Structure 1
């Protein structure tokens, strides 16, 4: 390896190392603070705990009502991800494979829709949801999350499908397969990594979403886990050790899912062309 290439590699790994440290330090500080007392955090917010308080995690689970919150989050996340995957996969297939007028306009519409903040629609959405009986229900939240996340998922999956050759689909049509059978039997198996990618992205977005859950869910038994951090506020004070412990428990499921599926996730992002954009 030439000295120039060696210097480039050293610079690359140095930058990556700095980024890793920059990303890991807040997580480590949260872990340490989750094992401290309020007084210890006030005196030494960045240092290691002198006497780890593992009881903080049990207290955070109880105070934050995490059992109910996890159950609600699972219901909302599973429903939203399934609906987003179904809608975006079929829409992406239509946009990438079917020739119909104004398809470019529809893609532009999805781009614009994806850039609009949801706050623009809060007031009319609140009244419509109240009239339809969808306010303060998991179903209402699932529909909102689907509408918010489906445009991006559709565009990402469309980019993935464009990179797949049409030879197998054309061969299936020659054999007499209809469009829906081609979609189910030929295209769908080829885009599983892309579907997994959009599902993981949607899962992270829905699981971590706070604002809409707080606006459209009022019953404590229906609140998802993202709103549980509010339970650690008492007037003008906050129980920081329990809040940090709650944050770590919230992070654990998504971190585990990403560690298990990260290879497929990276493969899907790369195949979609998003990594090079």
Structure 2
């Protein structure tokens, strides 16, 4: 009886996972297929196959949408955001895990509270502040905002990894004459690699796909991110569905590849951080 119930539970679990995977992959498959078809074919049969496929639509979408410069903008913003978050969060996590910081609980509650506040409430004050500083349409404004948004979560995650590092390793390095910076760089940082990869993946995906902040502070076409350019493309080519689907496929491709390359590290980092926390 118990073995039969276990098999039923396993079948239900796999059935649910297959249904979830199908619901996620179906829109991606339709996006790819419809990018290779004509408008007439899409209107006649939205879920049909391309006959024949038009691969030239990707070149047209890349050129007409100005995706080349937008890709460079998004890569720069995402890369610098990952670097800034990993740097600040790792050092802060080490300090908070190893030092007796007065008011740590208050700081924790503050970070947790700020993560629940919608970013839209800060857009107007930040816009006027950056306008006075001359940072509108400059990538540094978006990087600063992204860093402030993603640092609290990254700090809490990395702190769990620091707590799992034996203090004896750091003490041994200090006995050998290493300073605090050398201890962090040579002992702590290498052992934080799984957590840093997890943070890099989460921050990179979120900053690449983010729209509200990017469209608010980067209003010129030359400074726009890929998501903002796609929004402008959809307003410009309302009836050119193949071109819009091709642009969406090009924008989603780096995210999918990045996640596939780091998915094992991501799962290990999340599960390990949850156990250590």
Q: Name the TM-score, length of structure 1 as normaliser.
A: 0.93
Please identify, of 22-31 and 3-12, the stretch whose mean Cα deviation from structure 2 is larger.
3-12
Displacement after TM superposition at 1:234 (Å) = 4.8
**Contact 1:135–1:216 (CA under 8 A) maintained in structure 2:** yes
Please tell me whether residue 214 in structure 1 is matched to residue 215 in structure 2.
yes
**CA distance in 1 between partners of 2:236 and 2:246 (Å):** 20
Give the match's secondary structure for 1:237: coil
Give the match's secondary structure for 1:77: helix
Give the direction of change, closer, same or farther, for the CA distance of 1:119–1:231 in structure 2 (3 Å limit): closer
Give the direction of change, closer, same or farther, for the CA distance of 1:69–1:164 in structure 2 (3 Å limit): same
Give the direction of change, closer, same or farther, for the CA distance of 1:75–1:235 in structure 2 (3 Å limit): closer
**For residue 54 of structure 1, what is the aligned residue in structure 2?**
55
**CA distance in 1 between partners of 2:115 and 2:181 (Å):** 27
**Contact 1:56–1:245 (CA under 8 A) maintained in structure 2:** yes
Per-residue CA distance 1:234-262 (angstroms, 9 max, x = gap):
56934221111111111111211111121
Give the direction of change, closer, same or farther, for the CA distance of 1:141–1:238 in structure 2 (3 Å limit): farther
Per-residue CA distance 1:93-140 (angstroms, 9 max, x = gap):
122221111111111111111111111111111111011111110111
**Contact 2:71–2:226 (CA under 8 A) maintained in structure 1:** yes
**Contact 1:114–1:151 (CA under 8 A) maintained in structure 2:** yes
**CA distance in 1 between partners of 2:236 and 2:109 (Å):** 47
Displacement after TM superposition at 1:194 (Å) = 0.4
**For residue 149 of structure 1, what is the aligned residue in structure 2?**
150
**CA distance in 1 between partners of 2:57 and 2:208 (Å):** 23
**For residue 97 of structure 2, what is the aligned residue in structure 1?**
96
**Contact 1:129–1:135 (CA under 8 A) maintained in structure 2:** yes
**Contact 1:33–1:241 (CA under 8 A) maintained in structure 2:** yes
**CA distance in 1 between partners of 2:226 and 2:111 (Å):** 30
Please identify, of 61-70 and 156-165, the stretch whose mean Cα deviation from structure 2 is larger.
156-165
Per-residue CA distance 1:151-185 (angstroms, 9 max, x = gap):
11112212232333323123334445443332222
**CA distance in 2 between partners of 1:237 and 1:251 (Å):** 20
**CA distance in 2 between partners of 1:252 and 1:171 (Å):** 46
Segments of 5+ residues of structure 1 without an aligned counterpart are: none
**CA distance in 2 between partners of 1:222 and 1:52 (Å):** 33
Segments of 5+ residues of structure 2 without an aligned counterpart are: none
**For residue 225 of structure 2, what is the aligned residue in structure 1?**
224
- Number of paired residues? 276
Give the direction of change, closer, same or farther, for the CA distance of 1:232–1:239 in structure 2 (3 Å limit): farther
Give the direction of change, closer, same or farther, for the CA distance of 1:233–1:217 in structure 2 (3 Å limit): same
Per-residue CA distance 1:167-225 (angstroms, 9 max, x = gap):
31233344454433322221111011100110111110111111111110122111111
Displacement after TM superposition at 1:8 (Å) = 2.2
**CA distance in 2 between partners of 1:205 and 1:235 (Å):** 26
Give the direction of change, closer, same or farther, for the CA distance of 1:87–1:238 in structure 2 (3 Å limit): farther
Q: Name the TM-score, length of structure 2 as normaliser.
A: 0.93
Give the direction of change, closer, same or farther, for the CA distance of 1:67–1:131 in structure 2 (3 Å limit): same
**For residue 188 of structure 1, what is the aligned residue in structure 2?**
189
What's the RMSD between the two structures over aligned residues? Answer: 2.0
